């Protein structure tokens, strides 16, 4: 059998189907009415499986909301659909709503035949609310992802409600009063605030200590750099002084050597001049002899 999704739906009260809709042929309505007659009153949700289909019932204030679904769609989508139908039905026909004219569920003449009254009410509601069932079925089938998310959200809410109810029952079983519970809640809130405040103070103190340590380390490194720089500058100054002194000593020695050399040269020049003068005098005192040539 092919997957059909949501197949058949109705709204009933007191064993009477008030509105229904289906786009498929089959004996779904007959089986659904038979199940309706056997519904227990101990719970608000029921599911019956029959021939690869599920018959899902939702009870609320005497009204019964049903949807027949293909078994492949699971259990979440049918009940999300029933919740949508229930809310729509309550908004339209709830006792708190203002409806112009006679209420569709009202019995104006109590003396009339009961079957005729029920038939008239069912006919009017089926004509008004039957198309709404069709719209809800189409919407759920066309938006499966949204329906799945909504189902998970409702399941979580139901779980949270269950946990809260269990906690409340445990509190009541222990005999604790609501005032004591409120006081405990306030104390817990105060302790939580105090813990957060202490946590912030501790984080601030640790941050300041870290900053102080970083500043101390940075200051020590800076002082060490300054000391090394001063030492280096002092060595350079001493080297410059020594170099200047060495150059001065070399200059003095060079000047002394130059002066000595000048003196020696002068002496040498004087000695040469004296020797030259002596030689000339010797030449003048001994005139040249005539040459003798033998005949």
Q: Which CATH architecture has domain 6-142?
A: 2-Layer Sandwich (3.30)
For the cut 60, the answer to whether the pLDDT of residue 147 exceeds it is yes
For the cut 80, the answer to whether the pLDDT of residue 217 exceeds it is yes
Convert 248-259 into a string of H (helix), E (strand) and C (coil). HHHHHHHHHHHH
User: Across all residues in the chain, what is the average pLDDT?
Assistant: 78
For the cut 50, the answer to whether the pLDDT of residue 163 exceeds it is yes
Distance CA 190, CA 65 (A): 48
Domain ranges for the chain, please list them.
Answer: 6-142
Alpha helices (H) along the chain: 28-37, 76-93, 114-142, 144-173, 178-285
Pairwise pLDDT comparison (99 vs 78), residue with the higher score: 78
Selection from 93, 91, 67, 94 nearest residue 81 by Cα: 67
Pairwise pLDDT comparison (13 vs 249), residue with the higher score: 13
Q: Determine what percent of the chain is predicted with pLDDT higher than 90.
A: 17
Does the pTM surpass 0.75? The reply is no
pLDDT, tens only, 234-247: 766 776 777 788 78
Say what the pLDDT of residue 257 is.
77
**CA distance readout (Å), 28 to 9, 14, 102, 126, 231:** 9, 19, 32, 17, 104
Distance CA 110, CA 194 (A): 68
Q: How far is CA 120 from the centre of its chain?
A: 59
Say what the pLDDT of residue 42 is.
74
**Pairing label, strands 6-13, 16-22:** antiparallel
For the cut 80, the answer to whether the pLDDT of residue 294 exceeds it is no
pLDDT, tens only, 17-67: 899 999 888 888 889 888 888 887 777 888 988 888 999 999 998 899 999
pLDDT, tens only, 264-280: 787 777 777 776 666 65
Selection from 79, 94, 91 nearest residue 47 by Cα: 79
pLDDT band with cut points at 50, 70 and 90 for residue 295: very low
């Amino acid at each position: 059998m092919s997957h059909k999704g949501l197949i058949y739906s109705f709204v009933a009260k007191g064993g009477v189907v008030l509105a229904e809709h289906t786009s498929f042929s089959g004996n779904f309505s007959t089986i659904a009415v038979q199940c309706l007659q056997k519904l227990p009153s101990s719970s608000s949700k029921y599911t019956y499986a029959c021939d690869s289909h599920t018959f899902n019932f939702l009870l609320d204030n005497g009204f019964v909301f049903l949807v027949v679904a293909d078994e492949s769609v699971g259990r979440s989508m049918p009940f999300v659909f029933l919740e949508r139908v229930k809310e729509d039905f309550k908004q339209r026909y709830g006792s708190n709503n203002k409806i112009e004219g006679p209420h569709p569920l009202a019995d104006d003449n109590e003396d009339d035949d009961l079957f005729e009254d029920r038939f008239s009410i069912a006919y009017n509601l089926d004509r008004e609310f039957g198309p709404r069932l069709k719209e809800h079925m189409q919407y759920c089938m066309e938006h499966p992802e949204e329906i799945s998310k909504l189902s998970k959200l409702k399941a979580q809410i139901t779980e949270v409600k269950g946990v809260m109810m269990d906690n409340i029952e445990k509190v009541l079983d222990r005999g604790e009063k609501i005032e004591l519970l409120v006081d405990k809640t306030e104390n817990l809130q105060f302790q939580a605030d105090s813990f957060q405040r202490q946590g912030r103070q501790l984080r601030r103190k640790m941050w300041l200590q870290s900053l102080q340590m970083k500043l101390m380390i940075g200051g020590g490194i800076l002082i060490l750099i300054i000391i090394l720089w001063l030492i280096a500058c002092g060595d350079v100054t001493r080297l410059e002084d020594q170099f200047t002194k060495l150059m001065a000593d070399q200059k003095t020695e060079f000047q002394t050597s130059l002066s000595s050399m000048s003196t020696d040269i002068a002496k040498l020049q004087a000695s040469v001049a004296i020797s030259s003068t002596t030689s000339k005098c010797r030449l003048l005192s001994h005139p040249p002899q005539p040459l003798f040539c033998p005949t």
